Amino acid sequence: MEEFELLSVIGSLATAIATIVLVILLWRTIRQMEATVVLSRIQTEFRFRPWIGPVNGIKSMGKNAEGKHQFEITIRNYGELPSTRVNVLFCSGDTMIRKEDIVFDKDAFNLGPLLPTMEKHYWFFIDEEEFTKVKMKQRDLFIAVSFEYPVTNKTSSYNMISQYNPDMERFVHKDMWIVGSEPSMQ
């Protein structure tokens, strides 16, 4: 009878220890699954979305028929999903533009939808007389461009500030940044 009681106590103790070990393993599994869900959400918000940005620098296209100097920026959707539309905002000036002080023209230019790996071109124009002064180093030329596109209930944008360098005969990027690309951790 004593052996039966001893076996019963040992069995109860083993069951209690096994239950504690099982609870600890289940708790660790749930914590790991929570981390996996957070990482999956971040990957979904970063990978499965459009990513719009320039392909290369700003190209000079020469003088157009209206007496303005034409420049071209080529953009591409580097993401895995299409963008339903891309709006371009532009401004220029003869003093350094800070991103906190940018005031874009009121009218945004709609480039339309942009499929994955698709490229589109945006043109902007500078008055030929002003551009001649810039080339002769009599004044500076700064531009700010923003490519805005919708991303799951918010707007994301690629922005850049560039200065024309007459010695190199091209624009040099002074600042580039992305707005609205941070994933929500909720």
Mean of per-residue pLDDT scores for the chain? 88
Question: Strand, helix or coil at 185?
Answer: coil
pLDDT for 108 beyond 90: no
What pTM value is reported for the model? 0.72
What residues pair up with 60 in beta bridges, in sequence order? 71
One-letter amino acid of 55: V
Condensed to tens digits (0 to 9), the pLDDT of residues 21-77 reads 999 999 999 999 999 888 887 776 667 788 899 998 899 998 887 889 999 999 999
pLDDT at 186: 40
Task: Please report which confidence band the pLDDT of residue 87 belongs to, taking 50, 70 and 90 as the band edges.
Answer: very high
One-letter amino acid of 108: A
**Rounded to 10 degrees, what is the CA torsion of 62, 163, 118, 89?**
-100
pLDDT for 113 beyond 50: yes
